Amino acid sequence: NATSEGLVLVNVSDDGTTGKLVALACETESVAKVADFRTLVQQILDTAVKTNVGTKEDLLATTEADGRTVQEHITELTGKIGEKLDLSYVTLTAEKVASYIHSDNKKGVLVGLKNVGGADTAEIGRDVAMQIVAMKPVAVDKDGVDSATVEREIEIGKEQARAEGKPEAMLEKIAQGKLNKFYKENTLLNQEFVKDNSLTIAQLLDKQSKGMTVSDFKRVVIGA
């Protein structure tokens, strides 16, 4: 059975520069609501915050106060409830980190803002994090899109143009146009803001504070 249920929890440091997100996936919704399960997720997040580990592997190997590792705690609960449990963990450091957990508790985002310039980032950070959950960007901007994806999109564009009977000499130009559309729809800063489509995310941030932008983001979706 796929681990499509679970719980996402986040913590952002008091100074707003570090965020940590823990997601524990399980197989059924009923288990996700069990107190032992929810307590364990919180405990794992607390451990991540306390130890400041960088990777899931390091977190799983971390020893808790009772002398057992995070992995051992997960294994114990797996035995108790009889479901596969799968841990995800991401951490993000930035000038300002914002977070958002979707109402289903299965989708979470950390987003890093830079060039904040003293602006209050609470609301805009949350808006951008919500945008990431809703619109699923693949990268911050086009420079962050990996070359394999770019090549694939160009090939798709050429194939579509070819199928439409466009001349070979025009295929590259048409494919480039389709690639630009891909960037607009799939890179965060170029996406239209879901709450106001007259602005891109880049424009929204710049309007809030000149030069403010996104340095990075991490999205975790249980059951994706």
State the CATH number of the domain containing residue 14.
Answer: 3.30.479.20
Q: How many residues does the chain have?
A: 224
Closest CA to 127 of 95, 93, 90, 99: 99
CA angle (128, 135, 95) in 5-degree steps? 25
Closest CA to 111 of 206, 16, 8: 16
Q: Largest alpha-carbon pair distance within the chain? A: 70
Alpha-carbon gap, residue 23 to 11, rounded angstroms = 12
CATH number at residue 170: 1.10.286
Is there a domain that residue 164 lies in? yes
Is there a domain that residue 194 lies in? no
Is there a domain that residue 107 lies in? no
Residue-averaged pLDDT of the chain? 95
Is 42 a residue whose pLDDT tops 60?
A: yes
> What band does 65 get if pLDDT is binned at 50, 70 and 90?
confident
Which tens digit of pLDDT belongs to each residue from 139-151?
999 999 999 999 9
Which tens digit of pLDDT belongs to each residue from 130-178?
999 999 999 999 999 999 999 999 999 999 999 999 999 999 999 999 9
Judge if 88 and 13 occupy the same domain: yes
Domain tally for the chain?
Answer: 2
Is there a domain that residue 224 lies in? no
Is there a domain that residue 49 lies in? yes
Judge if 77 and 16 occupy the same domain: yes
Instruction: List the domain range (segments joined by +) for residue 11.
Output: 5-93
Q: What is the pTM of this model?
A: 0.91
Which tens digit of pLDDT belongs to each residue from 82-128?
999 999 999 999 999 999 999 999 999 999 999 998 889 999 999 99
CA 28, chain centre distance (Å): 23
Is there a domain that residue 102 lies in? no
Is there a domain that residue 138 lies in? no
Is 1 a residue whose pLDDT tops 60?
A: no
pLDDT value, residue 118: 86
